[in-house]
Structure 1
Amino acid sequence: ASAEKRGPFLSRSCGRARELRQLPRPARSNNDRMLVAKDPMLCQRCHVSSRHPATVYDGTQLAAASNRVVGRSCVNCHSQIHGSNSPAGEKFLR
């Protein structure tokens, strides 16, 4: 393949098409307008307490409500969404 068609690809349209087809529809786009739900409810569609907890905190569950957690998005801490082909890590932690 020519140099421009080899990785690494940081765009979701290149390199991982097969992986992206296996993901649930809402997690496939970097474009917020193409998602079927907004953060944090987008994450809550799959990450439920029975499989992978992702609790949405509203401030009543926390002893000291931090403005870094309450009313914020999952992507404040987990910056890379599933399907990203960025080499920054597989645990998606900032």
Structure 2
Amino acid sequence: KPFKNPNYKSTKKYKSFKQVLTMEKATTYPIDFPTYWSMEAPPSILPQPKYCDITGFEAPYTDPKTNLRYHNMEVYQHIQQLPRGTEQQYLELRNAHVVLK
């Protein structure tokens, strides 16, 4: 009972992250064995977040006419005032622009 005995000394030694990595490097593991050096994860099952093309905030809405994503009504009004062709420049930033061949 370590919290009651004032002379108690722990026999367990803690290792730093660096020590764990060097120990892991020294041992040989199979190729498919997960280690700290091979931190590969499968693709996320969560949907990717959508961001506003104008402001960069989260975009719950998409303009059906231009396919631009927008954050709120103020941004939507700004999108409607854009000259023709400008929306393609915004869409090009996220690789969603129309390419005619």
TM category (shorter chain) comes to: under 0.3
TM-score (normalised: structure 1): 0.23
TM-score, normalization by structure 2: 0.22
- Asked which structure has the greater RCO (Cα within 8 Å, sep 6+), the reply is 1
The structure with the larger Rg is 2
